Amino acid sequence: MIQAAVEFQNVHYSADGLHILKNITGAFPFGKITTLVGPSGAGKSTLFKLCNGLRSPDSGEILIKGTSIDSYDPVELRRKVGIALQSATMVKGSVLENLELPLTLQGKKIDIEFALELLHDVGLEGEFLERNAKELSGGQRQKLSIARTLVNKPEVLLLDEITSSLDRVSQRDIEELIEKINEKYGTTMIWITHNLEQALRIGHFTWVMMNGELIESGESSLLKNPRDKRVQDFVKGEVE
Amino acid sequence: MSYLTLSLTLIFVLIPLILSRTLKLGLEKDTIIATVRSIIQLLAVGYVLQYVFETDNIIFILLMILLMIGAATQNARRKGTSIRGITWKLVITFIFIEVLTQSILLGLNIVPPTPQYIIPISGMVIGNSMVLGILFLNRFTAEVENLQDETELILTLGGTPKQAIHTQLITSIKASTIPTIESQKTIGLVQLPGMMSGQIIAGADPVQAVQFQLLILFILLTTAVVTSIMLGYLSYPTLFNQRMQFLKLRS
Ligand SMILES: Nc1ncnc2c1ncn2[C@@H]1O[C@H](COP(=O)(O)OP(=O)(O)O)[C@@H](O)[C@H]1O
Ligand SMILES: [Mg+2]
């Protein structure tokens, strides 16, 4: 049995009277890449916010490396479990200031060599450092957002549709980068994607969520032969 | 001024009424309401002040100040309904600013400890604190709303609530205090301040009037800056919970 990096036990979550996550039970294996797919509105992004302590479940337990999420200090937890948000939000300021943000928050400065290396890893030129982050294109913001999430060197990385605005070549580059980090540091990856081919290609494991429920989970090959009728329809609809 | 001469000033109410009627502006009703209200309210205040000044009783002074704080709170809280517990946060701010300014003024013997000084100055301090509170709350709730994603981002990266709301807080404090500071740069050039004009009309020596006006201006600087900072630091923690999660503004 592979130990779970993140485990959900009967987790329910509602907001504004909406039952968003319904009785989620399942595990994200340690040191593996798990892809998370499902129609939009299924509750995938919300599930991430629970993993990183930005929201708390109404009931049920979330365990991080076997320990209840409530026993972690929120700041420590969020550095350990990093999210690259779907919105790839940037704060006012330069690319460098945005990249450095995780360290600025700890009263530290980024080493320029490290900054350049991160930019290079995600496929951004070094000359971007002084550019205004708010003026980057959607794809460039996604790349910068990934690089920024790596600054904290998280043990678990939650990636929310991080390649949705990227061209095919950049998509592949990012996939390779994530696989490289996963292999080199054993970082557990959970990757939300609406691209089922990508989910199959890079995932060791896959979760399929629909309408707030976890419908099917297992090795990513399940996407080729889903058991559940709803998942079959979803996969067909997405592939065609 | 006699009541006869005062009633002649109603001509200045008649002019807008006639204009509104002729041009069908539809302002008659509001103009009349405003006139009646100002007459009743100000006369009432005048008589109350006369009584308070004559009796010179500390209880009455305190009562007047509490009344001002109550009215100011009632006015300002409507702009901050999205912040939990805004009522008592405003009350604390107004009390603090009142105690701060009066202890400096009275403690250093800058003004004599009589109701003639304490009450009007308190009125100006609390009134301005109220305006500042409204300016601050308007701006702050808008900033918080507009920068929700940035707040959440900073939390995700392991920032504290204070760090996550810092930009919004500083922007709102600055934006709400700048008008006070700016208006002091041009004061006296275009328009004489109301209090000073009143004193001069009532026969005071202009230089004496200027001295008092300066005193008030400086007090209002403190009032502006302290009000915004205090309200800001009292308000922002209510946007987060113990687990450092960002709570939506109450709508
Ligand atoms: N803060 C919130 N308040 C109310 N409803 C929300 C909130 N966040 C998300 N939702 C709702 O929860 C559902 C799931 O959203 P989300 O987790 O973003 O789905 P996904 O990422 O799978 O597209 C949607 O119906 C969305 O409208
Ligand atoms: Mg989403």
Query: How many structural domains is chain B composed of?
Result: 2
Domain residue limits, chain A? 4-83+155-235
- Residue B209: what pLDDT? 87
Q: What is the whole-number distance in angstroms between the Cα of residue A18 and the centre of ligand 1?
A: 9
% of chain B with per-residue pLDDT over 90: 75
Q: Could you read off the pLDDT of A146-192 as tens digits, one per residue?
A: 999 999 999 999 999 999 999 999 999 999 999 999 999 999 999 99
Write the DSSP string, A20-32: EEEEEEEEEETTS
A57 lines ligand 1 (CB under 6 A): no
Which helix H or strand E contains A43, and what residues bound it?
none
Clarify whether residues B45 and B72 are in a common domain.
Answer: no
Q: In terms of residue numbers, what domain contains B193?
A: 58-239
Domain-ending residue, one of B14, B29, B55: B55
**A156 alpha carbon – ligand 1 mean position (Å):** 22
Average pLDDT (A125-140) is 94
For residues B34 and B63, state if they share a domain. Answer: no
Question: What's the topology of domain A4-83+155-235?
Answer: Rossmann fold (3.40.50)
Taking only the tens place, the pLDDT of each residue in B44-54 is 989 998 998 89
3-state SS, one letter per residue, for A88-126 = CCCCCCEHHHHHHHHHHCCCCCCCHHHHHHHHHHHCCCH
DSSP-assigned states of every residue in A196-235:
HHHHHHH-SEEEEEETTEEEEEEEGGGGTS-SSHHHHHHH
| pLDDT, tens digit, 9 for 90 and up, residues B187-233 | 877 777 877 888 888 888 989 888 888 998 999 999 999 999 999 99
Residues A29, A16: Cα–Cα separation, whole Å: 32
Who contacts B234 (Cβ-Cβ below 8 Å, separation ≥6)?
Answer: B89, B92, B93
Q: What does residue A132 show for φ and ψ, rounded to 5 degrees?
A: -75, 120
Residues B177 and B68 in one domain: yes
Beta strands in chain B (DSSP E): none
Instruction: Output the pLDDT for position A71.
Output: 96
Give me the residue from A54, A79, A152 closest to B152, CB to CB. A54
- In DSSP notation, B163-197 reads HHHHHHHHHHHHHHHHHHHHHHHSTTTS---HHHH
Interface test with A, best of B150, B152, B153 (most A CBs within 10 A): B153
B38/A77 Cα distance (integer angstroms):
59
> CA A166, A168, A169, A172 torsion: positive or negative?
positive
Ligand 1 within 6 A of CB of A42: yes
In a domain, B135, yes or no: yes
pLDDT surpasses 80 at A7: yes
How far does Cα A5 stand from its chain's mean position? 14
Contact A54 B157 (CB under 8 A): no
B131-189 pLDDT, tens per residue? 999 999 999 999 999 999 999 999 999 999 999 999 999 999 999 999 999 988 888 77
Long-range Cβ contacts of A18-21 (<8 Å, 24+ apart) = A19/A212, A20/A46, A20/A212, A21/A46, A21/A47, A21/A50, A21/A57, A21/A212
Question: Other C-beta atoms within 10 Å of A22: how many?
Answer: 16
Query: Does residue B119 sit within a domain?
Result: yes
Asked whether residue B74 is assigned to any structural domain, the reply reads yes
Distance of alpha carbon B19 from the chain centroid: 33
Kindly state whether residues B99 and B185 are assigned to the same domain. yes
Mean pLDDT for A103-115 is: 97
Summarised one tens digit per residue, pLDDT across range A21-72 is: 999 999 999 999 999 999 999 999 999 999 999 999 999 999 999 999 999 9
What average pLDDT does the segment A94-121 reach? 96
Same domain flag for B93 and B165:
yes
Closest to B72 (Cα-Cα) out of B159, B131, B160 = B131
Q: Which ligand is nearest to the CA of A41?
A: 1
In a domain, B169, yes or no: yes
* Ligand 1 atom at shortest distance from the alpha carbon of A42: 22
Same domain, B115 and B194: yes
Residues B120 and B10 in one domain: no
Q: Domain for residue B200, yes or no? A: yes
Residue A2 has pLDDT above 70, yes or no: no
Residue of A85, A92, A105 lying closest to B158 (CB–CB): A105
Reduced to 3 states (helix: H, G, I; strand: E, B; else coil), residue A183 is helix
Q: Are residues B24 and B88 in the same domain?
A: no
Q: Which residue of A has its CA nearest to B147?
A: A91
| Domain shared by B67 and B47, yes or no | no
Q: Whole-angstrom Cα distance, residue B17 to residue B23?
A: 10
- Tell me, yes or no, whether B145 and B28 share the same domain: no
Kindly state whether residues B24 and B118 are assigned to the same domain.
no
B80 and B41, same structural domain?
no
Token pair, residue A87, equals 């919105």
CA B220, CA B223: separation in Å to the nearest integer?
A: 5
- φ/ψ of B245, rounded to 5, equals -100, 140
φ/ψ bin of B137: left (φ > 0), alpha (ψ from -120 to 50), beta (otherwise): alpha
CA of A35 to the centre of ligand 2 (A): 13
Q: How far apart are CA A146 and CA A99, in angstroms?
A: 9
Q: Are strands A81-84 and A156-160 parallel, antiparallel or unpaired?
A: parallel
The complex scores an ipTM of 0.94
